[in-house]
Amino acid sequence: MNIARIELYIIQMPLKSPFLTHLGAVESREGIIVKVTDKAGLFGYGEGVAFSTPWYTEETVKTSLHILKDVLIPLIKEHPIKRPEEAAQLFQAIRRNNMAKSALETALWDLYAKQESSPLAKILGGTRAKIASGVVVATDSTAKALQQIEQYLVEGYQRIKVKINPKQDYSFLAEIRKLYPELPIMVDANSAYTLNDIDRLKALDELNLLMIEQPLAHDDIIDHAILQKEIRTPICLDESIVTFEDAKKAIELGSCQVINIKVGRVGGLFEAKRIHDYCMSKDIPVWCGGMIEFGISRAHNIALASLQGFTIPSDISASSRFWEEDIILPEVQVNKGYVQVPNTPGIGFSLNEKRLQEALLSKKTFPF
Ligand code: OSB
Ligand code: MG
């Protein structure tokens, strides 16, 4: 791919309002922007979506930086590649560290699409011109949740996802359901329950939820299979699926009926597409998960969600859901419940250099 250099930008930005789960609050977001430039001066962007602390997965911004700097960038330097799939293949020799891998691999996809003068969505095999947009409500009060839902429905979102835990589930959701009898609502527990809570989880069946995301342990597919036999609400797996093999086994075991595909969690677009293709062959619907990300990752999510199997609204909200001002131009917008898939080369968004500078903590350059 004729790479001339790779740059890493470490940035930080406050969220408009805290994002609360039973695992803690995210109030400010650190992230890594990867820029890969080729010898002709074309460039591609990727984003590292690990958080500052390991609450969602074991990776952090610092572990990602270490793996990028000391392992992945040297690997790409030593093995010149022609296509991004070759990077994904090279990275298979490195255990886990999926968000670090994805940060670099997605930048290579953007660059490759620009070298081919083609939209990334098209390169990946995407067919949708627009994708259905959903949004997440992550707060600890019913009043705030209702206020946010009202606002998000005005903004056109097609589906609302609500964070739940054993201290905030049935009665909280029943109040929402009473006000919005027809609204597509789903819930995400981020592993807040165990099989001992089976009665609490069964009670949710009567609320007509689209699905329940990751109710049990972050690394489990056995207990989820037991639970799915006991509840009518479809289980969707998030944290438990970090590879194609995980997806295959979870589907074979009956651990879920839906999969949330996150590019960072599975190590990049190559693995994300493999999981998508397998799910399609098994009639398992998928949607694209969010990571409270900046615009670069959001842009990659849009390209991925343009694939045919993404039949459920994704956690791909507008830039303004989290940010006063995003780092991309134009910002991602939701129009009547949809996000437009760009038809210009690569991810189809450019970097807002002024905003990047405002958010910049440090920068590192790796010449090839
Ligand atoms: O579990 O899906 C999750 C955000 C950060 C970490 C994990 C999750 C989330 C979300 C999506 O719920 C938020 C978004 O829209 O970006
Ligand atoms: Mg989730």
Domains of the chain from N-terminus onward: 3-117+350-367 (3.30.390.10), 122-340 (3.20.20.120)
Cα separation, 76 vs 201, in Å, equals 46
Q: Strands across the sheet with 258-261, in order?
A: 134-137, 159-163, 185-188, 212-213, 235-237, 258-261, 286-288
Nearest-atom number in ligand 1 for the CA of 290 is: 16
Distance 228 CA to ligand 1 centre (A): 22
Q: Which residues have beta carbons under 5 A from ligand 2 (an ion)?
A: 188, 213, 238
Query: Which of 61, 99, 136, 296 to probe ligand 1 with, by most ligand atoms within 8 A of CB?
Result: 136
Predicted local confidence at residue 225, as pLDDT: 98
Q: Whose Cα sits closest to atom 5 in ligand 1?
A: 291
Q: Give the span between the Cα atoms of 97 and 102, in whole angstroms.
A: 9
Which ligand 1 atom minimizes the distance to the CA of 190?
1
Q: Which one-letter amino acid corresponds to residue 85?
A: E
Q: What is the pLDDT of residue 62?
A: 98
Q: pLDDT value at position 217?
A: 98
Nearest CA to ligand 1 atom 9: 291
- CA-closest residue to ligand 1 atom 7: 291
pLDDT of residue 181: 97
- Positions in the chain whose pLDDT score sits under 70: none
Residues 39, 42: Cα–Cα separation, whole Å: 7
Q: What is the pLDDT of residue 184?
A: 97
Instruction: For residue 322, give the ligand nearest its CA.
Output: 1
d(CA 187, CA 173): 9
Say what the pLDDT of residue 121 is: 98
Q: What 3-state class would DSSP assign to 286?
A: strand
Separation of CA 284 from chain center: 18
34, 14 Cβ separation under 8 angstroms: no
| Catalytic residue list | 163, 262
Output the CA 36–ligand 2 centroid distance in Å.
30
Q: Is the peptide bond before 330 cis (omega within 30 degrees of 0)?
A: yes
Q: Which atom of ligand 1 is nearest to the CA of 138?
A: 12
What distance in angstroms lies between residue 84's CA and the mean position of ligand 1's atoms?
Answer: 26
Atom of ligand 1 nearest to the CA of 26: 5
pLDDT at 172: 97
What was the pLDDT predicted at 192?
98
Quick one: pLDDT at residue 368?
96
22, 152, 262, 292: residue to mutate for ligand 1 pocket, most atoms within 8 A of CB: 292
Instruction: Give the residues surrounding ligand 1 with Cβ less than 6 Å away.
Output: 56, 136, 188, 190, 238, 289-292, 315, 317
**pLDDT the model gives residue 251:** 98
For residue 311, count other CB atoms closer than 10 A to its CB. Answer: 11
The SS3 call for residue 258 is strand
The answer to whether residues 19 and 138 touch, using CB atoms and an 8 Å cutoff, is: yes
Identify the pLDDT of residue 359. Answer: 98
